[in-house]
Structure 1
């Protein structure tokens, strides 16, 4: 193993002047530079002849340079994606010490994990291949000498784990007897241990490909063996300290070896694992923050992070960098270290500078695109923006007001900054040359930094930024950046020391940000109201104003500077005196307060603020922004306090007339009913000193419904405003305005009163349609068409009505059923039902409407041709007449229509009971309403509650338009009372003609239906 390649010469091969050596120190995608190793080393000369003396050797070196990537990133040239080589004529190896100074078994090893010594050892370890040139022997004596040299050199290099390749320069082939004899005697048993080349050969392509393959195989085998040895050691040894730290050490060793092997996936995975474990060590607080290993661990975390940044592709590289920044910031917070502390700012600046240097290197094409070390870290973020971040961190670092000192930060051992702030700004500006707007932003930041020390350079920076923003590439731009630039240029306007050619009008640049607020959003005539206007300086300088004039829609108000009050320490935040100190301190706002006494009705709004500086500079700034706070003086400590602005829109105030001294007693309902003729009633009592005769207007929403005048006496006699409104089906606003004047005051006084009226449905109804028993018997016959009677059937519509009006009782006078479409099939027997009883909220009342249906024959031809209506369908609705209790107006409410479906020509069975103290009878009336002859099979089932006397099984044949009555006398059995009702014996009537079963229905209230069964009330 060879850890270093240096240019020393010593005494290993003094006597062998007839050979030439070329040492190839190679790694597969290894590191980009070689640092000094901290372990002890010794020098070994490899050859005394210059490696470029031989013509063949020189040509080979030249060709290899075209294939191998140089190790120094500052050198440019052709590169190969597999090899990282350096040529030399001498080597340097570490001295063997057991146990190693870097081993945890050595008592002198104090920091086995975070020591950078063992990291350097594995970070810069590379295998070596020695290429030695000999002239072919012309006799046996020379062959013996060459053989001895090769054997001695092979023995020495074997102890160094260096592979030896011998090149014989001559005309003989590799298969000649002398070459085979030399190979056997020197112990060069490998297939690729010896080559024979002709010095005059011009094309070395085949030899170089074989040579590169040998180096690649030797390098891969070396690191495979190294990784296997590390894994075996990891399993065999017991951890001498914390297991997590032990795992981190071996994970990093494997990661470094995988990196040399160009096993990208494996190396990234191992580096990520080591990074996560090391982060967990910091988060858990396993390391003392006062120790040196804490600082070394932070450096190790940075090293691993940038390893991953270089290896990851595209946006992932930048994401890894941002993750590393957030991780270390989180460690800062866990250790109670402010992100504005000196160590945190310095660390952040160094990290961004390192990443910016990497991105700058790629953008400037200083590294070949085929270089696997840098070409993958594609900078999706321009390097100029990263340099701007560095400059901002360093700016905070130089500002003592923003730095927070940390007593024990653990990261304060950082050495000097990697870059100064000026170079960071310049690198940012040059790196953003293709992004004009970002470059202008960087120039503004650069000018801010130069303001304190180099004002002229700051001016040039501002002008450069202004030219970028004012170019044709950015027409009519209005952004934060251009506003910031204008704010900075105000300094030169105030001093009148510089004329800016691109600034056409001074009014384009506002040196104050102005906000204002009225104390209240409404006031009355003659009542004083206050206003506050706040000026926020937009420049970093002190300024003296001569005067300030505030203008609103009714006048202007002047504040004059008083020389005796110019002391900066006495400058107040809140100014009420018209003669006051107008000395504006750096970045300190000033609030001017004044009073207004309006004399007319209307609105008052802010207009603008005008001021003049001592240098004669004038400016008018419109007032367009409202203040969020209202300033008040604290009576206890005389400090100004902020209170939230009292109104929603403080930029205007509404001026109204003086309030009227009139009491209003509202007796109008708050909830009206749909289609109600609602009465509104307002009682007015005057407390004015004189009798008045006001004019009033009543509005329903925006519609005028009443306009009149009334008299109000000064003695308090009440007057009334009342009337009626036809309510629709939606809510509305009821409002009235009252205007009057008095003999002592000609200014009109107005009064306005409004209330919201909700509109609801006053009633809700449920309907139940039941048949009514028709006791009159009619004959069974089969006669001419003219003799067929109209068969009447009686029905009853039961209505249950619920009142929804709250806080009031209602009287229902009429409840009328209106048939909308009956086709002369329905006839009402009782069309009006008078209830006339009070109904409270959520109380119910009932109504019944009886009507009959009749058979309608549409043709008067023969009986066989007549067409009957099989189904009767009609619609009806209820009309309810009602009024509120205490009101005289009757209202009518129409319920939604009800659909009535009645079978007009279907047979039916009505059960009608007769209950007396001595007997219980039930009559089943079977009615054939059809023009057909029907056959029925009748069966009466037995019951556990009744014994009966009457037909049990029978057949019945019925003529068209006929009826038949079955009478049963019932005898109760046992104590069968079930809620004062008993189930009737089941009568089964089967229509043989239509193949269906008829179900008996209740013919009177004495029988009820429950779950499909008939029950008799006893």
Structure 2
């Protein structure tokens, strides 16, 4: 855009003049020519406002200047008065551009002629094609001076500033009134419709100085200024925010006035356009001279004016419509492009105007966010202009057209940059990996709604960022340079040395629109114009910077590579190094194997040799060894002499590379023989180096190879020229200065591979990884080191063996061949359990015999510790038995090789069945290595099972003690105890042990009983030692005596009991205890009971005496109906039916004498043979009509589930 006149490319903003303030620095002298003309002069006599307060106010006014603002919709007018202006602070004087041209001079003959008084000469604008003094006369369309006139010289608004001094009083007011009236009169005299406003600055506010209000009223009345839109008063303001609010308030008021000024100009231009006839100049043109402007050209002129005025109003859609119509008028079949000869200066003027209008069309579309429409307008105009040049001009194969394409692309780039579109800014998107927000640069803006409806918008209709257009400009500039180089020598002669015929032919051949003549485009000396290379360099760098900023690093690198080619052709090698060095140091194109950049190395090497940079020559030669296409002819010499012809500054050249920075021409692979080893064991390692067979270099001899493996000592393989080169070499490592050093032949030829085997011994248990392999070459001219730390590319896939000179591959079993895991040295101390049973039982005291055997080659000393899983529910106790005491840590003292020791581990089993794990950790050291700790761990599982399957029964029994009397009260100090109740608890245990056990004792213990009752356990008989075989049954009965602490307590009694057994295994004296829980017993103490007790007598009258005891422990009188049913098995003596009333807390005994009739089914029972009889006594509560169940409460009485109560009758008592 710099090649066009500034007034053609500037965005038009309303011009506002600030009179009375200090002049700003924006007056660049562009208006000097206009000021020298006889324009109207605006001048004020009042002193200039130079106070600090006035300068502060001027800064706020100038802050509204939008010259450097972005060309987008944010500058549109709105309710917040965001419209931007062209602000000019001009001091006390300003000269307006003349509105009309001076009358044309007349000859004496014409002056003496009589002129009709009714006719007068019509004067036109100084820049009109109708004015003879205009640069457009007679057939020009428009000039940049017209746009400069409205942008820089004729304001839409004049704001005058005056300071109201309190000391001088009325004299100051008179001067202000005089100046205001003078400026307004000058504006009226000039013919411009410029608006005027005045700002009065006061030292005090109206509140503090009420007389100021009268002065303001006087000034307003005398000057006829509107108090709302023409006169503003600024009292003292303490803050910048107040001043800013004041300034914005002024422009909120004056913005409609400013817009109205350009609307008036628009109406005036529209009236002129609507005229039916073509305007005619007062001065007739001479015959054979240029003709007047055509009608279509007048239309184009007025369309341009209407578009400019719309742009002043920030109505960009209206401006675009007028500009587009102006372009159509210019390209019309009757327009200036078709009617003006191409050799005429007016043709180039029309091209310049057309370019400016097309530029403004694109700017208007970008302003309205019509991104794809702007690209299409840009492209369509390029095609139309190329067609015009091919038809009417000198063709599009000239360097002038290439320059125009470059200029047009740069214009689009500048428009995109100034538009600052949000659609091309960076956007925030969500990362797929970690769902975080990342910045994603956009390369092009999405199409607007019109193009979004298309199925697929072509890529060339997308508005790309500025770097894309700069890249197009770079290509066009390169084409211009190439075409300039093809200019014949005769056309490059200066005009003074060329014949006239050659000059005529040159003018018909070459198009010089905004470009130099052929002799200046490519000077005769044979060197291309320096401007071509400078332009290429500037455009390429700018394009690459924009492309890289939008995430197109590869395209940016390609642009810089093309620039390097051009600089190399121009033999500007220092700049080639400057351009290619950053690309050469970037490694992503190496990692991705981008073949396009195979050209970087030869270009860089050529430039480095020309400049004398030995470091770059060494680097490029080293990297090009593995690719013969990168070697220049004659570079097949020994690599060690690659910089002999290059001057080395500062002695020896030192180069230090990594595989991220440079490609290594030598392929290196490394492998451990196994993935795991032990501390102190030897581990075989293999490293293979090879030079590609495609390399056309001579022998490459490495000085040494350095390996870094984890925390292991560095390993250096040093070249030894005396050794013969073998395919696979065994290297012996020796310690020197803390490193491991080995000698081998490191000479490589193309296509040759050398393999070195060596062993390492690791002293620490950890994982060792290969960190780096460094290749070094040292000569008397340079020192080169290339560090390879990309371990993935260093992993060998095979292990190589030498079989009579043949290399045999063997596959490796592990994937990561550069990693070895060193495990602790394996302990050889054996731990075993001698007499471990399949299961143990809860509560058992068991002893495990542990045998510790030393299989080491040396004597060991240490200790052994036991650990087990612990739980609050199942607590396990383990202790070592040593010397009659129990300890947690058992020492191992001087255990010689192949010796064993037996240790005792006492285990107290938990009370609940479970499986527990016991871990034995033996920590020991060898006599020869006291600082090398070894550890042997032995784990065993012990099953603790339940020993018995238990069943329990509960039945009532008769207590012989008398009950407390309900009618006999104890003393007042005593509390009567409750009624005693006797119960029988029977147990039946089945052994679940896998071997016979001996039961020593059995007893019932009370675990818990409430505080309001007491419980006493009564053993029914003694127990000797009982042998219980597997699945054997053990039965034992106990009596339970319960009593309430209070006679009045009628609640049930809850008792929790356990059966405790002491037992031991056969052949083992260790006694263990087993605790079998008895289900919770709930005993009723307030319900009536009927208990039966049987007795066998020797009397002749009766065989059996049955005693029935009826108990009433309640506090109520109870009446029972008692009936003994007849039975065929016996006869009885006693009441068959009776009624019995029981007082509270009493019991009654009823006896029946039974005479058994005959023998029943004799069975073996209690004390010998006999049989069971089944008497049936019915006891019914007369009140509740409930039957009491008779319970067995004595020896020889039981309850049968089907027949009821049964009484045992021995065989000897039966009557025959």
Q: Report the TM range for the smaller structure's normalisation.
A: 0.3 to 0.5
TM score, norm. by length of structure 1: 0.42
Max Rg structure: 2
